[in-house]
Structure 1
Amino acid sequence: MPALDPTAVRHLYVHVPFCPTICPYCDFHVLTRRAGLVERYLERVEEEAARLAGEYPVDLDTVYIGGGTPSFLRGAEVTALAGSIRRHLGWGRLENTLEINPGTVSPDRAGLWRDLGFDRASVGVQSLDDATLRFLGRQHDARQAREAVTTLVGQGFRVSGDLITAVPRQPLESDIRGLVDLGVGHVSAYTLTIEPGTEFARRGVTVEEDDERAGFERTEDMLTSLGFTRYEVSNYARPGQESRHNLAYWNNRTYLGLGPGAAGHYPGGSGPVLTTRRTNPHLHEWLAGEPGEVQPVDAEEYVTDALFMGLRLREGVDLADLTRRSGLEVRERYAEPMAANIRRGLLTLTGDQLCATPQGWWRLNQVVADFLEAEDPRRIDHFQA
């Protein structure tokens, strides 16, 4: 086997913005489909994929198609999307994920997705309780969710199920046990968050911190007792079922972002710039070819990004590796905030491995703010915005 190119980008995120309906808690870039819009989207994907292939060395380990609701695409549409990716950028040698809404699953559609090369399904279950699903504004019911997961497991997918916690009157334990009993190997459990501008925010829906904390802790207790490992703040997996694509984010690796609103972390730069983060504009501007936001990343920002993401992981951050990648002597540069947070019981340092404690996970924003303040107090406002 030929040696892998050490400079190549190994991960690709593709954003599909179309959804059947907009959930009241959602603040992603999503919209309902209209005549001709998906066709224009697919044409633009083809163009952008070709451009990315010409600008960067690409040798993909993972592909992740998210949204939105990628599984909402019709058979010919998802086939065209996968074809554009393969023609210009290749396909992931380790993992290829499709985000799936339970209401879009049938045996024939699951078979098509499998034939196209997807081997991992991230299913937006959210709950297995009908009252909770109605509160969340989901269009599927518990029966559809169970049938969808069962179908995908039966088709041989590695299946991850999403759950939302801290929902009023949610039967959380029943949700968790029911999802595990369906055969998933991975669970992503996210606290209900009320973002500005969402329907829930306009209604005045709130989430109590005590409920958030209780859901946070009960989810870990149950899933670990059922054989899952909490390998990231919100993610649990059976051995070997971790999301390889998302691990690239948490380890601050480079990746391509394709589609409207998609973010990417790109290699290369000049002078003090190590990498570049780019975020594509929303659909209509993206269709018109308008450029997105570009943020050069210098060594200091690279380190704090790596700490913010890496401390979410159970294994934490290898400071020697981060020093090598950034060119900064991380232990010396950030000795004071590290020591302060170790004293508070929020971090541990064993050899070169810096990890957050369970209490540190709960207060991770404050931990990272301490590192930012040591670097440049002006960055705290940006971080908290």
Structure 2
Amino acid sequence: MYRTFPPASPYTSRVTAPLPDSTVRHLYVHVPFCPSICPYCDFHVLTRRAGLVERYLEGIEAEAARLSGEYPVDLDTVYLGGGTPSFLRDAELEALVGSIHRHLGWGRVENTLEVNPGTVSRERAAHWRGLGLGRASVGVQSLDDATLLFLGRQHDAAQAREAVTTLLGAGFRVSGDLITAVPGQPLEADVRGLVDLGVGHVSAYTLTIEPGTEFARRGVTVEEDDEREGFERTEALLTALGFTRYEVSNYARPGEESRHNLAYWHNRLYLGLGPGAAGHFPATGDGLLSRRWTNPHLHDWLAGEKPEVQDVDPAEFVTDALFMGLRLREGVDLADLSRRAGLDVRAAYAGPIAANVRRGLLTLEGGRLRATPQGWWSLNRVITDFLEESPAASTTSSRQ
């Protein structure tokens, strides 16, 4: 998630105040433990070993206490991600939630738990609801046993169906993850089957082979034509079933959008808690708007190694906001972004805006910049144009 942005902008000197709202309202907590490591996964995850979870929970307590004294926090959303947070034992998850409550509070609007289907039971779902978790993001990935076997998942289709049904019965708002463009996958059956279970939200990602993963070592490949077909067919199927594609990879029934993830896509401030977690924090002075940092992986985090930190000036804030905001169907309100960043975005980036409108990758209507369907597919190219337009100076990257 951590990215290096282009050099700072001469607009920096104009900014002497922090962002209009410097209160942090969103919290991401990374739980790095998984029952097994999937062959396509390149996240910071590991299997549990004796004493390691206990040390992790002690680290969470200490980090939460430190962050509470450094930043103004009034949480709307909490997201427990991983890894597999639902893999934690009941007492362990209770301790984790307790640390958050003690030092940072709890989300008033939405609190999400990422769930592996194999960890769900009626009793556990009721326990999670009792802890104040109301939304579950379930790693279904497919409802076809052959596809799940290829993906290295430890659950079968029946377990996935039962997990979703159990969570809905316990009162959770449920989102189901799907992986598309898998060789031989019955995509229509996967999509229809998940929707028929009653989920209100679907996150659909094309299978991507990342360097260093087991799939990469095996030489597994995904053809671009297959990736694009999965990308387009998923939208057609879910739209026909009453879902709206509100972000490149995310679909929802009305009111079921992920409030937490919308904070990322709107480039809001958020805390990152735990090993490998990234955060976007308020900063003042020297023309800065905010800071981004990424915690080290578990063993270095436990040893007290400091996070990798990047100061964010107005130009970097704008390119980051465009990178994230153009993923949304609603796009980016340029007047609002200009107000938040302290520079005239439409004037500063007139060149790449005009060029990508001509190419049919962006539209600009009423001051709102949006990606077209082709622009969504080519978003990296679009953002590269904005990065290259950014004026050159120097950036700050350090360990603090």
CA contact (8 A) 1:119 1:158 kept: yes
The aligned residue for residue 187 of structure 2 is 172
The alpha carbon displacement at 1:252 in A equals: 0.3
Q: Structure 2 matches for 1:214-293, cutoff 5 A?
A: 214-293=229-308
CA distance in 2, matches of 1:307, 1:298: 14
Which secondary structure state, in structure 2, belongs to the residue aligned with residue 197 of structure 1? coil
Instruction: Give the gaps of 5 or more residues in structure 1.
Output: 380-385
1:303 and 2:318 are equivalent in the alignment: yes
Q: Structure 2 matches for 1:1-385, cutoff 5 A?
A: 6-376=21-391
CA distance in 1, matches of 2:251, 2:60: 32
CA distance in 1, matches of 2:389, 2:96: 45
CA contact (8 A) 1:63 1:91 kept: yes
Greater RCO, 1 or 2 (C-alpha within 8 Å, sep 6+): 2
Structure 1 counterpart of 2:242, one-letter code:
G
Structure 1 counterpart of 2:356, one-letter code:
N
Deviations 1:237-286 (A, max 9, x none): 00000000000000000000000000000011321211000100000110
The alpha carbon displacement at 1:8 in A equals: 1.3
The alpha carbon displacement at 1:6 in A equals: 3.8
The alpha carbon displacement at 1:292 in A equals: 1.2
CA distance in 1, matches of 2:393, 2:194: 44
Structure 2 counterpart of 1:47, one-letter code:
A
Normalising by the residue count of structure 2, what TM-score does the alignment of the two structures yield? 0.93
Structure 2 counterpart of 1:299, one-letter code:
P
Deviations 1:315-352 (A, max 9, x none): 00000000000011100000011001001111001111
CA contact (8 A) 1:269 1:276 kept: no
Which secondary structure state, in structure 1, belongs to the residue aligned with residue 42 of structure 2? coil
Which secondary structure state, in structure 2, belongs to the residue aligned with residue 178 of structure 1? helix
RMSD over equivalenced CA pairs, Å:
1.2
Which secondary structure state, in structure 2, belongs to the residue aligned with residue 41 of structure 1? helix
CA distance in 2, matches of 1:72, 1:121: 13
Normalising by the residue count of structure 1, what TM-score does the alignment of the two structures yield? 0.96
Structure 2 counterpart of 1:41, one-letter code:
Y
Structure 1 counterpart of 2:133, one-letter code:
F
Which secondary structure state, in structure 2, belongs to the residue aligned with residue 63 of structure 1? strand
Structure 1 counterpart of 2:170, one-letter code:
Q
CA distance in 1, matches of 2:132, 2:58: 21
Change (3 A) 1:50 1:370: same
Structure 1 counterpart of 2:79, one-letter code:
Y
CA distance in 2, matches of 1:82, 1:289: 22
Instruction: Give the gaps of 5 or more residues in structure 2.
Output: 1-19, 395-400
CA distance in 1, matches of 2:391, 2:244: 36
CA distance in 1, matches of 2:288, 2:180: 39
Structure 1 counterpart of 2:330, one-letter code:
E
The alpha carbon displacement at 1:288 in A equals: 1.2
CA distance in 2, matches of 1:203, 1:376: 42
CA distance in 1, matches of 2:23, 2:288: 18
The alpha carbon displacement at 1:7 in A equals: 2.8
Deviations 1:280-331 (A, max 9, x none): 0000110111101001011111000000000000000000000000011100
Structure 2 counterpart of 1:229, one-letter code:
T
CA contact (8 A) 1:194 1:205 kept: yes
The aligned residue for residue 382 of structure 1 is none
CA distance in 2, matches of 1:355, 1:107: 43
CA contact (8 A) 2:22 2:269 kept: no
Which secondary structure state, in structure 1, belongs to the residue aligned with residue 233 of structure 2? helix
Q: Determine what percentage of the aligned residue pairs are the same residue.
A: 79
CA distance in 2, matches of 1:360, 1:7: 32
Which secondary structure state, in structure 1, belongs to the residue aligned with residue 69 of structure 2? helix
Change (3 A) 1:304 1:80: same
Structure 2 counterpart of 1:129, one-letter code:
D
Which secondary structure state, in structure 2, belongs to the residue aligned with residue 224 of structure 1? helix
